[in-house]
Amino acid sequence: MSPSLSFANVTVGYARHPALHHLTVTFPSRSLTAVIGPNGAGKSTLLKAAVGLIRPMSGRITCHDCRQRDIAYLPQLAEVDRSFPIPVFDFVAMGQWRRRGAFSAFRRDDDEATAHALAAVGLVGFEGRTLDTLSGGQMQRVMFARLILEDAPLILLDEPFSAIDDRTIGDLMQQVERWHTEGRTIAVVLHDLDLVRERFPRALLVARQCLAEGPTAEVLTEANLAAARHMTEAWDDHAPFCAGEAA
Amino acid sequence: MTPIDLIQPFIDFAFMRRALSGCLILSLSTAPVGVFLMLRRLSLTGDAMAHAILPGAACGYLLAGLNLYAMTAGGIVAGLVVATLSSLVARATPLKEDTSLATFYLMSLALGVIMVSLRGSSVDLMHILFGSVLALDDTALAFIATIASITIVVFAIVWRLLVMECIDPGFLRVLRGGGATAHFAFMGVMVLNLVAGYQALGTLLSVGLMVLPAAAARFWTRRIGGMIAAAAAIAMLSSALGLILSYFWRLPSGPAIIAVASAIYLASVLAGSVGGVLTSRLAFRHRSG
């Protein structure tokens, strides 16, 4: 339990252009880290690389005490087809995939676990609703219920609170903190700096490279944030190949 | 005319009984295929795949004449090749499933038409394209039943995977959950059903028994299990009614079955309890909370 995740000199990107350039950072065991940075800074790319959805062009990503496939990951734009006719209960129950897989039967206690997860995110009474009848906030609660059931030691959330109202953010943030006290390692991509200052002990500021990492107060300084704002988003099609590459 | 008169043809003629049992079995196995095609927005894929099967069947026909085994084997091989190639291209390149399938099925269809025209007359082509449900023999019937059994067993095995791959493919990708396996198994089963279908209804119309009942079922239930049951029931009803109509009115049987399925579909669009045009307009009473 309580794994750590480290990036050693990792470059990840698209079409040979790095979205994240020679990144070396660590998410320590039992830490709760906010990943911040401007749009296009490579925050989502960082999480995708961690769960293996993108292969790094160079460098190593290592996950101690946790297999890569055991990381729970909430994508920014989940590819959930909400028109598919499935009740909320069944969808959330799929969070137990690692234990039950594609074939095992669901037992009574599995169903109870699902009911508990739904209760934890405030969705009692929604069991039989289909996904297309849910609001954006309710859908995010459903995704969190599934994450609870995944029971993963390492949890990565990509902008879980965008377009979500304050009350829902409050409830879901409580769940994140519950995971933190349970000793799980968590990284959350966020844009709300006030929320980061209030609730996140650690922060990582990226802007296509690591600008600052550590206790939140030391990361969120005016100087660092100004540096992040000066990041260039555009690709230079004629940029020379990176010299570090040869090493 | 009494109700007994309606079933009289099935009592009198063995070929009518065989046609009916063939269609009923086929209805059972195409129902889940059609429902998943619809839910994955791949309904047109069924149509495209039916065309893709043609050169295989034509190849069998060129080599062995109107031989069930040769044409079937050819159809299955052609279908699986096209399904596999298009899925591979869709998963490994930026091309989406629809485009990559369209390219391969067009290739396949062109080949097939050329091959048929090399030897046969257009009458033979009509035979391949429109089938002959009234000419089902026991071998063909056993073949359809075998494919239906395989279909149901495969669905039972990959069910959870397939449902998850439809709803949230990204989740399975992170878990290394085998979404691709489910997809390929599903495509394989679809090809088998299309090949079974063209025995009964022909390549062009076999898709109808897959797509129309599934689309109609969507208007009657919100549950996937219910949807498949409804699709199977609609397909079976269409088969029976279509055969009866074709007998009394001397219509070609395959198209008659599809015409009945179309009528049921249109009625469902209008009057279906889940989102039907008329019912959703009429339901102006709403609950208080």
Q: Could you write out the DSSP letters of every residue in A187-229? A: EEE---HHHHHHH-SEEEEESSSEEEEEEHHHHS-HHHHHHHH
Residue B235 CA to residue B257 CA, distance in Å, equals 9
Entry pTM: 0.86
Interchain contact, A97 vs B164, CB within 8 Å? yes
- The ipTM value here is 0.85
Interface residue of B160, B186, B274 to substitute, partner A, most A CBs within 10 Å: B160
Contacts of residue A152, defined as CB under 8 A and 6 or more positions apart, other chains included, come to A66, A70, A71, A72, A184
The total of other beta-carbon atoms located within 10 Å of residue B107's CB is 14
User: How many alpha carbons lie under 13 Å from residue A90 in its C-beta half-sphere?
Assistant: 17
User: How many alpha carbons lie under 13 Å from residue A45 in its C-beta half-sphere?
Assistant: 24
Residue A245 CA to residue A57 CA, distance in Å, equals 10
Interchain contact, B171 vs A94, CB within 8 Å? yes
By the 8 A CB rule, do A97 and A103 touch? no
Angle, helices B3-12/B14-39, rounded to nearest 10 degrees = 110
Q: Which residue numbers of A have CB closer than 8 Å to B's CBs?
A: 51-53, 69, 71, 73, 75, 78-81, 83-87, 91, 94, 97-98, 102-103, 130-131
Contacts of residue B112, defined as CB under 8 A and 6 or more positions apart, other chains included, come to B51, B54, B55, B56, B57, B58, B78
Interchain contact, A81 vs B160, CB within 8 Å? no
Residue A4 CA to residue A154 CA, distance in Å, equals 8
Nearest Cα of chain B lies from the Cα of A210 at a distance, in angstroms, of: 25
Per-residue pLDDT band for A244 (boundaries 50, 70, 90) equals low
By the 8 A CB rule, do A178 and A184 touch? no
Q: What strands, in cross-sheet order, belong to the sheet with A202-206? A: A72-74, A154-158, A185-189, A32-36, A202-206, A210-215
pLDDT, one tens digit per residue, over B127-139 is 655 566 777 788 8
Residue A124 CA to residue A115 CA, distance in Å, equals 8
Helix or strand or coil: residue B198? helix
pLDDT, one tens digit per residue, over B160-205 is 999 999 999 888 888 887 888 888 899 999 999 988 887 667 766 7
Per-residue pLDDT band for A129 (boundaries 50, 70, 90) equals very high
Residue B213 CA to residue B235 CA, distance in Å, equals 6
pLDDT, one tens digit per residue, over A65-116 is 888 888 999 998 777 888 898 999 999 999 999 888 888 888 999 999 999 9
Nearest Cα of chain A lies from the Cα of B89 at a distance, in angstroms, of: 18
Phi and psi at B67, nearest 5°, equal -110, 120
Phi and psi at A122, nearest 5°, equal 75, 35
The mean per-residue pLDDT over the stretch A52-72 comes to 88
List the single residue in A with minimal CA-CA distance to B160: A102
Residue A102 CA to residue B258 CA, distance in Å, equals 36
Interchain contact, B167 vs A69, CB within 8 Å? no
By the 8 A CB rule, do A10 and A56 touch? yes
pLDDT, one tens digit per residue, over B218-254 is 999 988 999 999 999 999 999 999 999 999 998 888 8
